[in-house]
Structure 1
Amino acid sequence: MIDTPALPVKLTARQQQILELIQNAISRTGAPPTRAEIAAELGFKSANAAEEHLQALARKGAIELVSGTSRGIRLKQQRTTVTDRAQQLMLAIPGLSQLALPLVGRVAAGSPILAQEHVDQTYHVEGSLFQHRPDYLLKVRGMSMRDAGIMDGDLLAVQSTREARNGQIVVARLGEEVTVKRFQRTAHGIELHAENPDYPTIMVAPDEPFEIEGLAVGLIRNTMLM
């Protein structure tokens, strides 16, 4: 579970419960829950009740709410995301870093994701920023995962693996293309869900070429590195 930040104002029992639910969702799937998911998990009659508690948590400094997205919840001092200037400095000072992560830019069709020709540069990143150790950073292209807080140009921290659980955000290879989507295995095959209603769900039939390249374990907003 992601560490709880030190808060200036004491939380109520219900607020603490919601904060822990958010932390666990991010740790498990790489993204915060929606208001509807919070309401369903805690037995609220509507998503509006969840919204009221989230607003209270935001006022107390436990979270930050991002307008315009269904999953627009960010933990203050969240360890999987670079959120303040002190953490940005860790990226720039090799003496404070523990991980040297290659940044993968555009991936050529059909070749390994970590092929040397795909690596744009290497970032030295403080390892404690991540709950799970990443193996590389992938530059996000497009806005298909916008509502999960993953924007065009962001650097997605990825842990290499061939396995994923339903609901996790994965880096997947479909034939000669690499994409970032939310993974769902069904009785009929694999579904890759976007977090943006403008993008369709990708249906992968059992006989189609498909491979999981890794799991999303953190995010670095690229503008913070400038």
Structure 2
Amino acid sequence: MTTSKIPLTPRQQEIFDLVRRSIERTGTPPTRAEIAATLGFKSANAAEEHLQALARKGVIELVSGTSRGIRLKADTLRAMRRPARSPEGQSELPLPGLAQLLLPLVGRVAAGQPILAQEHVEQQLAVSPELFQQTPDYLLRVKGLSMRDAGILDGDLLAVRKVAEARNGQIVVARLGDEVTVKRWKRDADGIWLLPENPDFRPIHVDGSEPFALEGLAVGLLRSGLQ
């Protein structure tokens, strides 16, 4: 799908859709190597060239220094779902899917209190539901750089859906002791692990010595300032 405002080649559209599906499914974009493998490129450099072309067209942003530093812009997704004018020049009708979600934005979470306690909610933000395959329950302001290589940076807003279970490899919000953290989920014979995406941080083993709760699953990401 293309628009007169955002003309994409068939290959660029294919890569854009692949990035969007990865974010919707796992909460993070694919790596260049994953794009190359999925689309049959000979090297990750070919994927990088197409991503640079998409960035020049203004439909994505590339974050340097991270293997998954690919961002979709909210206005891009809305534009690519907007119907064209009719041949008679009639005005566009708003799509029902573009109705705004009003989501609580959670900042710093105090120890021992529910994550959606009123004192944790900085504000209510209106966002397009078209940004997410699964409807989020809240936005969490990311603190720190432990998920840097997944393209999740300090100050970003993580869209979170409340769940009771997670699958290995998914990015989750978890509470361990007095801390709320964003990590990649892994469960094995030794129990639950919370894995960072930055070699400067160590994996966290949930050993039962501290209170633990799964607070939700990442279903999307908004870059701070682009809401």
TM-score normalised by length of structure 1: 0.75
2:212 is matched with 210
Which blocks of at least 5 consecutive residues in structure 1 are unaligned? Answer: 81-95
How far 1:62 sits from its partner (Å)? Answer: 4.3
2:20 is matched with 23
Structure 2 counterpart of 1:154, from 153, 156, 175: 156
| Mapped pair 1:119 → 2:116 | no
1:167 is matched with 169
Query: Given the superposition, is the C-alpha separation of residues 54 and 127 from structure 1 closer, same or farther in structure 2, using an over 3 Å criterion?
Result: closer
**2:103, 2:132 → 1: CA distance?**
12
Contact 1:39 1:46 in 2 (8 A): yes
Which blocks of at least 5 consecutive residues in structure 2 are unaligned? Answer: 79-97
1:182 is matched with 184
Deviations 1:68-103 (A, max 9, x none): 2111112344549xxxxxxxxxxxxxxx96433222
How many correspondences in the alignment? Answer: 206
1:143 is matched with 145
1:198 is matched with 200
Tell me the percent identity.
Answer: 68
Contact 1:23 1:32 in 2 (8 A): yes
Deviations 1:125-157 (A, max 9, x none): 444443322212222211112233322222222
How far 1:27 sits from its partner (Å)? Answer: 0.9
How far 1:37 sits from its partner (Å)? Answer: 1.9
**2:120, 2:57 → 1: CA distance?**
43
How far 1:59 sits from its partner (Å)? Answer: 4.0
**1:142, 1:166 → 2: CA distance?**
23
Structure 2 counterpart of 1:38, from 35, 60, 69: 35
Partner of 2:225, secondary structure, is helix
How far 1:25 sits from its partner (Å)? Answer: 0.7
How far 1:213 sits from its partner (Å)? Answer: 0.7
Query: Given the superposition, is the C-alpha separation of residues 57 and 205 from structure 1 closer, same or farther in structure 2, using an over 3 Å criterion?
Result: same
How far 1:47 sits from its partner (Å)? Answer: 2.1
Partner of 2:18, secondary structure, is helix
**1:79, 1:186 → 2: CA distance?**
37
**2:165, 2:137 → 1: CA distance?**
15
Contact 1:110 1:177 in 2 (8 A): no
Partner of 1:107, secondary structure, is coil
Q: 1:174 is matched by which residue type in structure 2? A: L
Partner of 1:68, secondary structure, is coil
Q: 2:54 is matched by which residue type in structure 1? A: L
Bigger shift: residues 206-215 or 150-159: 206-215
How far 1:63 sits from its partner (Å)? Answer: 3.1
Structure with max Cα Rg: 2
1:74 is matched with 71
**2:186, 2:21 → 1: CA distance?**
19
Bigger shift: residues 203-212 or 113-122: 203-212
Structure 2 counterpart of 1:9, from 7, 10, 17: 7
1:48 is matched with 45
2:90 is matched with none
**1:50, 1:127 → 2: CA distance?**
28
Contact 2:19 2:29 in 1 (8 A): yes
Q: How large is the Cα RMSD of the aligned pairs? A: 2.9
**2:125, 2:57 → 1: CA distance?**
34
